[in-house]
Amino acid sequence: MRMIQLLRLAAQAEALRWKRTGRGYAMQAGLGAAAAVFALLLLVMLHVAALIWLQEDRTPLSAALIVAAVDLVLAAILGFLAARHAHDPVAIEAQRVRDDALRQVGDTTARAAMVLPLLRSQSMKKGLVGAALTAAVVGLMARR
């Protein structure tokens, strides 16, 4: 019964981890899309206004270079915000719970594999050797 509860707990923790990780990626993609839309639409209006304003005192070429420098700064700031990836503490904890539950399932399985040959064996010596070999194999499989 405990093994089933541990497996259920591991499955729930894994589902929560995937849900939270997916939510983080969706937020990151949304921020990137918003940054792109903002960069395209707002900068078009800023270009027009800045070029008109800057051409009063400067040549059209120098006005265009100033606007391009401002575009570069805005794109760098928005790109940095979109590329930033913070780890979700709930997803990390869910992964730890899943790993602990699966480790306990492996330990329980190893113990059961060690005891079962003893119960089935006619001779105690033969049962102990079989139990030791089975426990070693299950232990190696559980660590992978």
For the residues of the chain, what is the DSSP string, one character each?
A: -HHHHHHHHHHHHHHHHHHHHHHHHHHHHHHHHHHHHHHHHHHHHHHHHHHHHHTTTS-HHHHHHHHHHHHHHHHHHHHHHHH--PPPHHHHHHHHHHHHHHHHHHHHHHHHHHHHHHHH-SSHHHHHHHHHHHHHHHHHHHH-
pLDDT digits (tens, 9 = 90+) for 72-131: 998 899 899 888 877 888 888 888 988 888 888 887 777 776 666 666 655 555 556 666
Is the entire prediction scored with pTM above 0.75?
A: no
